[in-house]
């Protein structure tokens, strides 16, 4: 099991993802803007269908092919 960092502990755990935040310049925990659709769906979804907000700085990432679920 992965430890959830403090900044992400208030978010909905079902929506947590690992994303690359361009503002923070590193991999962070982000929160998906809707319920997690499943790994395959998320990977093949068109860009801009999903957004994931960086829980450190608020940047919204749209490059969904780079994401994977936080567990
Ligand atoms: Zn960030």
Could you give the angle at the alpha carbon of 66 between the alpha carbons of 3 and 34, nearest 5°? 75
pLDDT category at 1 given cuts 50, 70, 90 is low
Q: How far is the CA of 50 from the centre of ligand 1 (A)?
A: 17
Task: Read off the pLDDT of residues 27-49 as tens digits, 9 standing for 90 and up.
Answer: 999 999 999 999 999 989 998 89
Q: Length of the chain, please?
A: 71
Q: How far is the CA of 27 from the centre of ligand 1 (A)?
A: 8
Distances from the Cα of 36 to the Cαs of 22, 23, 25, in angstroms?
22, 23, 24
Q: How far is the CA of 49 from the centre of ligand 1 (A)?
A: 20
Q: What does the alpha-carbon distance between residue 18 and residue 56 come to, in Å, rounded to a whole number?
A: 12
Q: How far is the CA of 4 from the centre of ligand 1 (A)?
A: 15
pTM of the entire structure? Answer: 0.88
Which uninterrupted H or E stretch holds 42? helix 39-44
């Amino acid at each position: 099991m992965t430890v959830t960092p403090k900044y992400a502990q208030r978010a909905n755990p079902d929506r947590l993802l690992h994303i690359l935040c361009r503002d923070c310049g590193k991999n962070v925990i982000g929160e998906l803007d809707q319920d997690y659709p499943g790994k395959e769906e998320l990977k093949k979804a068109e860009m801009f269908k999903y957004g994931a907000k960086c829980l450190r700085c608020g940047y919204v990432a749209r490059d969904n092919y780079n994401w994977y679920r936080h567990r």
